[in-house]
A and B are shown apart, each in its own frame.
Chain A
Amino acid sequence: MLVGGCDVGSATGKAVVMKDGEIISYVIIPSTTKPEVTARTVMDEAIEKAGLSSIDDLDYIVGTGYGRLKVPFANENISEITCHARGAHWLSPTVRTVVDIGGQDCKVMSIDEKGKVLEFVMNDRCAAGTGRFFEAMARVLDCGLEGLSSLSLQGKNPSTITSQCSVFAESEVVTLINEGMELVDIVAGLHNSIAGRLNSMVRKVGLVEDLALTGGCAKNDGLAKALEEKLGVAVKKLPQDPQIAGAIGAALIAEEKLNGQS
């Protein structure tokens, strides 16, 4: 059985092709301004990478993400909340709390032993704690996203960033630079501040181990470390690129639909 999951996010598009419950290909591309174009492009690339000839080879496709309504070839769409939860759980079955940090929103889900969502909390009103925020910071500090992560890990005395709003946090950072604060400490401080926001969200849903990060920002080790310190638990690393968790979940649900399981 061949199925596809297509996660059209604001920053990146992801597609996963699964055969009989195994991932046979996945692709991540930057999003275009048109979700249907992003969807088509990323899915076509995944099909090619899987060694298939066309999208019709897939028996069922589920779309998810911010642009899920604009995936023309999807048989149905499912919310990214459900998909990220399923995907994270499949990747690591002991996971019970999922923190997804996407391009323009972040969410926390508490899940059961089957990967089903019990409760969720979203922050989609502002950029704080999202990919946008980290991009903006990387720009201000002129260091790139990987740079942010490694700088943060070097910070011994993280600064305190009090601004709740990412726009104001930017100017706070500039002020700190001008005051001669160590760059590594500023970046560590930023990560702490974001980790604090995420911590609040996790508390609202209730922390149950294991906890895993998904989404593009999950690859930021500095953030993972800051979060571990705030939460007092270790972050479970996922065996695959955490950014494709949503697309994996979508593909898994596609398989279930085929089997008449849901």
Chain B
Amino acid sequence: METRIQSKAFQELSQAAETLVNPAIQDWKGQGSKVVGYFCSAMPEEVITAAGLLPFRMRATGSTGTDLSDTYFSSINCSFPRHCFNIALQGGFDFLDGVVCMNSCDNVRRIYDNWKRQLPTTLVHIMSLPRKTGEPQVEWFRDEVANLKQLLEKHFDIEITDERLWYAIKLHNETRRLQRKLYDLRKADNPPITGTEALAVTVAGTAMPKERYNQLLRELLNELSESPGNADYRARLLLMGGILDDPAYVKVIESQGGLVVTDSLCFGSRMLWNDIDEGASDPIAALAQYYVADRPSCPRMFGDYERRIGLVRDMIRDFKVDGVILERLAFCDHWGFEQFTIENDLKDDNVPCLIMDREYIMSGVGQLRTRVQAFLETMGR
């Protein structure tokens, strides 16, 4: 990706976002270590780290079609699971030693059933994430996390001690802390990093050992702290919506002169605003508390709309946002209704809003450009 950021740290992060199996993963496997893939940002990946395994957030970066997965999914299914499963059928995920699915949504949950039936991966598991964020739900998920831990212990013949869990929690918290520092820099009038670059950074964090990632983040933050930043943009934008792991999409948006200064994305800020409570007595309970209740929810959660719009409003204020772009993967029920509701509330707030549908693998660049350009013009920018 073309960028003004010079550091090798950024190059490495950028490459990790643009490929599926980056060098860090290759090295990891080369050393004989194992990788467990997982879906959904609500996955307690710390358990995988604590097991001495590498957690890898599933993406279908570089997918060129769904010819193989079309046998199992339909044209009215979301393109994200279709592309992921297609890569799986092509053997693109053979490097995984296990995959943990989540009942995030109707489209994605069937990856579990189809994967189990069609692929030889020896560990295929699905976790039951609650649909509400209350105490009983945290308790339920605590048992889910405990079950996951036992499953990993049994399958990989290892012991996951509380000590290891705390180590992982502190490590991942450090990641979030460093990422928040990155976002803080974007509050300025002259942010040193674009939305395109920031997404590449956060996506990269889901595809390499956190120790290495934190190191790269520190280097990047050092460079950015020296940067004069960029004040040459037409408008400050907040980008929100469903699964978006492709910086190229943000690039097209930013090519029209707007700057994405923050987001509500599950590969973006929703991964980093809160920390797991390091003062808790039970690490498994602490994980459940964070993943169910404390971190920002996505629209799949019932009864949590007020908290979601609250976060968006806070960000609009703190990041001095001029306009909001709400993207949705076609066929997504959750984001479809969320777009419908949020647009209304933002209209009451006098915040301009652009609603767009997209496919997981980017297409229609011309149309995207036109819409964003028209949106900026409508804002009077």
Contact = CB atoms under 8 A, between A and B. Distances in A.
B329 to A, nearest CB: 14
Contacts of B367: 122, 124-125
Contacts of A124: 364, 367, 370
Interface stretch (A20-28, A78-86, A127-135, A145-153): A78-86
Contacts of A60: none
A66 B366 contact: yes
B374 A120 contact: yes
B370 A117 contact: no
A118 interface: yes
B180 interface: no
A78 B378 CA distance: 11
Contact of B370 (A81, A118, A119, A125): A81
B373 interface: yes
Interface in A99-129: 116-120, 122, 124-125
B348 interface: no
A76 B365 CA distance: 20
A120 B378 CA distance: 9
B366 A117 contact: no
B371 interface: yes
B377 interface: yes
A82 B377 contact: yes
B378 A82 contact: yes
A242 to B, nearest CB: 19
Contacts of A120: 374, 378
A120 B355 CA distance: 10
A80 B367 CA distance: 12
Contacts of A66: 366
Interface string B337-375: 000000000000000000000000000101100110110
Nearest to A124: B367
B377 A78 contact: yes
Interface centre among B370, B373, B380, by most chain A C-beta atoms within 10 angstroms, is B370
Interface centre among A79, A82, A124, by most chain B C-beta atoms within 10 angstroms, is A79
Interface residues of B, number: 10
A117 B371 contact: no
A117 B380 CA distance: 9
A94 to B, nearest CB: 21
A43 to B, nearest CB: 21
A120 B377 CA distance: 12
B373 A79 contact: yes
B289 to A, nearest CB: 41
B366 A81 contact: no
Interface string A59-96: 00000001000000000001111100000000000000
A82 B370 CA distance: 10
Contacts of A119: 378
Contacts of A116: 378, 380
A78 B380 CA distance: 12
Nearest to B330: A125
Interface string B307-335: 00000000000000000000000000000
Contacts of B371: 122
A28 to B, nearest CB: 21
Contacts of B373: 78-79
Interface in B96-139: none
B366 A79 contact: no
A119 B354 CA distance: 9
Nearest to B380: A116
Interface string A182-210: 00000000000000000000000000000
A239 B322 CA distance: 37
A117 B381 CA distance: 12
A1 B29 CA distance: 69
A78 B371 CA distance: 11
Nearest to B372: A79
Contact of A118 (B364, B366, B378): B378
A260 to B, nearest CB: 15
Contacts of A81: 370, 374, 377-378
A118 to B, nearest CB: 7
B370 A80 contact: yes
A148 B373 CA distance: 35
A241 to B, nearest CB: 23
Contacts of B366: 66
15 contacts: A79-B377, A80-B370, A81-B370, A81-B374, A82-B374, A82-B378, A116-B378, A116-B380, A118-B378, A119-B378, A120-B378, A122-B367, A124-B367, A124-B370, A125-B367
Interface of B: 364, 366-367, 370-371, 373-374, 377-378, 380
Give 5 nearest A-B pairs by CB, closest first.
A81-B374, A79-B374, A79-B373, A82-B377, A117-B378
Interface of A: 66, 78-82, 116-120, 122, 124-125
Given A78-B373, A79-B370, 12 more contacts: A66-B366, A78-B377, A79-B377, A116-B380, A117-B378, A118-B378, A120-B378, A122-B371, A124-B367, A124-B370, A125-B364, A125-B367
